[in-house]
Every structure is written in C-alpha cells, then in structure tokens.
Amino acid sequence: MPVQWAGLSPGILLTVERESGVRLCAQLEGQLRDAIRSGRLQAGERLPSSRELARLLGVSRGLVQDCYAQLQAEGYLVTRVGSATRVAPCAQVPEAPAPAPPGTGPRPVADFRHGVPDLTSFPVADWLWATREAARCMPTADLDYGDPRGSPALHEIVAGYLRRVRGAAADPARTVVCSGYAQGLSLALSALARRGAEAVAYEDPGGPGTARAAAEAAGLRAVPVPVDEAGVDVRALDATGARAVIVTPAHQWPTGVVLTPERRHALIDWAARRDAYVIEDDYDAEFRYDGEPVGALQGLACDRVISIGTVSKSLAPALRLGWLLCPPPLTGPLTDLKRIADRGSPTLDQLALARLIESGRYDRQLRRMRATYAARRTALVQALDRHAPAVRLSGLAAGFHAVAHLPAGADEASVVAQARTRGVGLYGMSAFRASGAAHPPQLVLGFGTVTEHRIAEGIAAVADLLRPPGV
C-alpha cells in the first residue's frame, strides 16, 4: 500500500556523485528506476515536486524535469495536470507468484488454543478512556525517562490491588514494572545468576521451551522437576542442587493443580535453607470458579519469592505490561537490569493501566470475563459428557484451559493430527513435558478464544477420536 502524503512534499533518499563521470540526469534516472523495480517506491506513490527535489539534490529544476519526462516516456511515472508525479500502476516487476497451497483444507471449526484470552472482549472503550485520562492529567515531567522501575502511580495502585486481591505482601518501593512475563523472567534469572546461581528448576510438565530459553540467556542450566497432584515435588527439587525454581502455585501450568499448603511451606523452607529464590508466575489466578481463592505464594515469604504478574491474561498480551514484586536484596539488581534493558516501560501505558484499576473498570472487566469463561467451561464439560464420556477433565478450578485425559491406549499425536484434518485444533500434553513423552495421553484444551457454540461443534467433530480404541 503506497504512503499517502498530505500537503507536504514526501522525502526520498537519492544521491548524485558529481565526480563519477556519469551524467547527473542519468544517475537520477537510474536510481529512480531501481527504486521502482525493487518496490522501494510502490505503485501510486507520490514523488517530490521537481522544484523540491532539485533543491534537495542541489541541481537545476530543468534536470529533474528532464528526468521525470524520460521516466514518464518509459512508463515508470505518470503525471497529470494539477496533480503530483506518481509511480505508474504497472511499473513494478511482478513478484513470482507464491506456490498454491496443497488444498483449501477443511472448514475451521474450533481451535482449542491455550494461553490466550478472549481478544474480542478487550475493553476498547475503557482503555481509550483510561489513556485519554492519563494523557490529560500526566505531568510534563512524566514524559522524561523517569525511574526504570516504572511509574510511582502504577506502583502504588498495583501494590494495593495485589494486597487486596492476591494477599501479596506488595511494597510499592520494591515493585518493578516490566514488559510482560518474558522480560520479567529474564530479569529475575539474570539477577539470580549475578548472585551466583548456576541452575534454575522448572515444573514438569510446564513450559520447558520458555524456561530453557530464558535460563540459557542468563547463563543458567534449566532442570525439570516433576509435578504431582499436590504441585511441585519439593524433595525432587532439593535433589537438583538448584538455587532457583519457577512455579505456578495458584493454578499449575498446564495441569491445573494447586500447590497444597504443605508443599507451600516445604517450598519456602527449601528456599530459606538453600539460600534460594522462588519465581512465582501468577498468570491467571484472577479467574477462579470453584472453592476459595488461592493467595499468592509471595505473601508467605516476600524475602524469598519473586512474584511476576501481568495483564496478558486479564486484558491482552499486546499491552506488554507486567510487574515484579522483588525481595529486598534483589530490588536494586533488578532495577539496574531493567535500566540496561530498556530504561523503563512506556509511561503512558502504565498510567492508563493505573487509571483503569483505580476507576474500578479493571475489576468490572474481570467479573465480565469470569462469567464468560465459566460459561465456556460448562459448555466444554457438557460437550464431552455428551460425545466422549470416557474423557476425564481436570484443572477446571481456574483459568481458561483444562486437561483432557484420553482413554488408555489412545495415540495422542494421532488424535491431534486427525483433528487437524477436520478443522479442529487440539494440543497434546507432550509439548509441555521435558522429555516430550506422549504417555499418559492428554490434551490441553483452551477455551479462552472459542465460543460456546464452537466448543460444542468442535467436540462433536472429533468425538470418535476421543473415545476408547475399538468403541
């Protein structure tokens, strides 16, 4: 799509070499031809006026007019009376056509993608309101680089929110705003590496790709630790010799189990005894449906837990806004690392989020989405009860994904592949196991981006794949 310039003459990068021995007009013609053929100047794009281009290049206007006339005669440019000179619609060399896809494929029915909220429900009006309010009230000084830890206003409001909703021991002075979970984890691991850590443990199943990549970037070894029905196995963790561990205690990713009180205390005791730190990924605890709310682990041991929270699940990943609640010894190092990384996250977005939370609109959005996801969860349970009653679901107490336990003897990879041919996106648990093992056969079914109607259609379309072999 060509750039549309309003009023002012567009800029263009062209040069002339007076000592080259090549006529200036020929140089200009050649550069413009190359720019058009290569697509740097696209069909319909406007060129500077002959007067302006002559001024920019320090040549006569007549030379530029001669150049434009020659390229117009060759079909590269078009000129109309009272209008600017533009690149001709048919001037570019067409690219080789992309190879045709092997087939149109099945009609998309449902994609049970996990880890992404319902993006169609993003509160656009509320975010625009919060951004306008933030910009209207923002002091001029806030347009400077500021504190790399982030906006003091957001520190106060997020800390108050986390104390109220998550039971966290949140201190505004020990809060560092980050660009989402990925940066938060990277900062935390880098700070621990500087303190002498050599290995970081992560839950298995969990997110092996993310953990390994972040650990490698920080110069650490990544060690998997098994998860059972009570959460991460602290005895197995102790045997690794690691001095850091990444956990999802409120709603383990992806199994959905909750770290029991006994394991919580054992994990904190391990951290104190080993002079180690726990990195808590508090990723979707706002969406809880069954039982009592589960508080943040950081509230029990703020000196040993780095808690990372974001709005990626509650609002949208594209906002790239999160925060770290830092233990006292790590606040300074994490601030220094954030300063080196990017000198701080965008201030206007931080202030907009602060206004959204402070106004109560953030809580209202969470209530709305909690009801939406609860209805989709019910639709998933009902669809499986109707079409594949042999499949057991777990991990449904919170969040917007569940684990489907396939019947014994099922081939996880085959189920996933065959579902694709029917337009249904299914995802196996093997991708979240450090070993990549497909046994026991399980699926991670996300319902954040799929409607109740699509859930019913999708499960019906693959019902025979989810039944016990031979049935």
Domains of the chain: 24-87 (1.10.10.10), 110-115+368-466 (3.90.1150.10), 122-359 (3.40.640.10)
pLDDT of residue 4: 42
Q: What is the mean pLDDT of residues 424-453?
A: 95
Q: What is the mean pLDDT of residues 191-219?
A: 94
DSSP string covering 154-223, please? HHHHHHHHHHHHT-----GGGEEEESHHHHHHHHHHHHHHHTT--EEEEEESS-HHHHHHHHHHHT-EEE
Q: What is the mean pLDDT of residues 192-199?
A: 95
Structure tokens at 54: 């002559």
Residue 419 has pLDDT above 80, yes or no: yes
Q: How confident is the model at residue 101 (pLDDT cuts 50, 70, 90)?
A: low
Residue 7 has pLDDT above 70, yes or no: no
Beta carbons of 383 and 459 less than 8 angstroms apart: yes
Per residue in 323-350, pLDDT (tens digit) is 999 999 999 999 999 999 999 999 999 9
Between β-strands 322-325 and 305-310, what pairing exists: parallel, antiparallel or unpaired?
A: antiparallel
Q: What span, in angstroms and rounded, lies between the C-alpha atoms of 104 and 167? A: 51
Residues 6+ positions from 312 with CB-CB distance below 8 Å = 117, 180, 181, 283, 319, 322
pLDDT of residue 279: 98
Instruction: Compute the radius of gyration of the chain from its Cα atoms.
Output: 29
Q: How confident is the model at residue 94 (pLDDT cuts 50, 70, 90)?
A: low
Residue 3 has pLDDT above 50, yes or no: no
The larger pLDDT score, comparing residue 318 to residue 99, is at 318
Between β-strands 392-394 and 401-405, what pairing exists: parallel, antiparallel or unpaired?
A: antiparallel
Q: What span, in angstroms and rounded, lies between the C-alpha atoms of 433 and 444? A: 12
Q: What span, in angstroms and rounded, lies between the C-alpha atoms of 118 and 108? A: 18
pLDDT of residue 9: 58
Residue 436 has pLDDT above 60, yes or no: yes
Residue 59 has pLDDT above 50, yes or no: yes
Structure tokens at 464: 């025979």
DSSP string covering 305-358, please? EEEEEESTTTT-GGG--EEEE--HHHHHHHHHHHHHHHSS--HHHHHHHHHHHH
pLDDT of residue 99: 56
Beta carbons of 365 and 353 less than 8 angstroms apart: no
Full strand arrangement of the beta sheet holding 277-281: 175-178, 322-325, 305-310, 277-281, 244-247, 199-204, 221-228, 231-232
Per residue in 120-146, pLDDT (tens digit) is 999 999 999 999 999 999 999 999 999
Lowest-pLDDT choice from 49-53, 242-246, 263-267: 49-53
Q: How confident is the model at residue 105 (pLDDT cuts 50, 70, 90)?
A: low
pLDDT of residue 22: 86
pLDDT of residue 56: 87
pLDDT averaged over the chain?
Answer: 91
Residue 319 has pLDDT above 60, yes or no: yes
Q: How confident is the model at residue 358 (pLDDT cuts 50, 70, 90)?
A: very high
Q: What span, in angstroms and rounded, lies between the C-alpha atoms of 386 and 383? A: 5
Q: What span, in angstroms and rounded, lies between the C-alpha atoms of 167 and 164? A: 6
pLDDT of residue 321: 97
Residue 312 has pLDDT above 80, yes or no: yes
% of the chain exceeding 90 in pLDDT: 72
Residue 235 has pLDDT above 60, yes or no: yes
pLDDT of residue 103: 46
Number of helices followed by number of strands (H, E) in the chain: 14, 15
- CA angle 67/73/79 to nearest 5° reads 75
Q: What span, in angstroms and rounded, lies between the C-alpha atoms of 213 and 211? A: 6
pLDDT of residue 332: 96
Q: How confident is the model at residue 83 (pLDDT cuts 50, 70, 90)?
A: confident
